[in-house]
Amino acid sequence: MNLIEQLNWRYAAKRMNGTKVPQEKVDRILEAIRLAPTSFGLQAFKVIDITDSALRERIFNEACQQPQIKEGSNVLVFAANRKVTAEIVDDYMKLIAATREIPVDSLNRFRAAFDSLVTDSEERNLAWTTCQVYIPLGVGLVAAAEEKVDATPIEGFDSAALDKILGLEEQNLASITILALGYRDESVDRLASARKVRKSARDLFVKL
């Protein structure tokens, strides 16, 4: 299938059948997420891949009572950095220097571009890093469609409870969104065969 056919096929599965997604498919989806663009290329987030059934049961009971949490194969938690610290930025400069085989000092002007982030408040930092999370989330959704894997983005959860379960606050992280991977259960999901509803190109796009 081409990309447009794959995007027409995909939808946010409401129920999943518990079938395990092959690891090679999960790995390709995660690699696409890793390669997604973010501002400055900083990747100020982590993605937590949860397959443990007991942990998913706890998440379902305490933080997110949506069936995909238990019925899916993998639960990906996208967690943004609460604060962009000087250490995070310095580590990124070192990674650039090592990858491109250049002196880290040659990046001083680029490093200075992060000064306002480092000195800004946690509240403003988290607002910025939250926006960054949705770029790799979107790429992950497209990658899953490419692999013919259902992927359901979830925002309706208790983020404070999920942060506590996963110990995220101590890691300078905050859960922002969840992506459940699995396979649709057409026997109970009445939307599995429903036509996709989207605005027409005429209504959505404006050409100036």
In tens, the pLDDT along 17-51 reads: 999 999 999 999 999 999 999 999 999 999 999 99
Residue 72's nearest CA partner among 150, 157, 188 is 150
Q: Give 6's pLDDT tier (boundaries 50, 70, 90).
A: very high
Q: What is the pLDDT of residues 76-120, one digit of tens each?
A: 999 999 999 999 999 999 999 999 999 999 999 999 999 999 999
Handedness of CA 73, 9, 133, 101 (dihedral sign): positive
Q: Which two tokens stand for residue 193?
A: 């065969």
The DSSP line for 103-166 is -GGGGHHHHHTTHHHHHS-HHHHHHHHHHHHHHHHHHHHHHHHHTT-EEEEE--S-HHHHHHHH
DSSP string, 70-100: HHSSEEEEEEEESS--HHHHHHHHHHHHHHH
Q: Over the stretch 57-83, which tens digit does the pLDDT of each residue have?
A: 999 999 999 999 999 999 999 999 999
* Strands 173-182 and 150-154, sheet pairing: antiparallel
Res 145: pLDDT: 97
Q: Please, what are the domains in the chain?
A: 3-84+120-185 (3.40.109.10)
Question: pLDDT (tens digit, 9 = 90+) per residue, 139-192?
Answer: 999 999 999 999 999 999 999 999 999 999 999 999 999 999 999 999 999 899
Q: Is the pLDDT reported for residue 1 higher than 80? A: no
Q: How far apart are CA 93 and CA 166, in angstroms?
A: 28
pTM for this model (two decimals): 0.95
Rounded mean pLDDT of the chain?
97
How far is residue 31's CA from residue 101's CA, in Å, rounded to a whole number?
23
Residue 138: pLDDT above 70?
A: yes
pLDDT at 151: 98
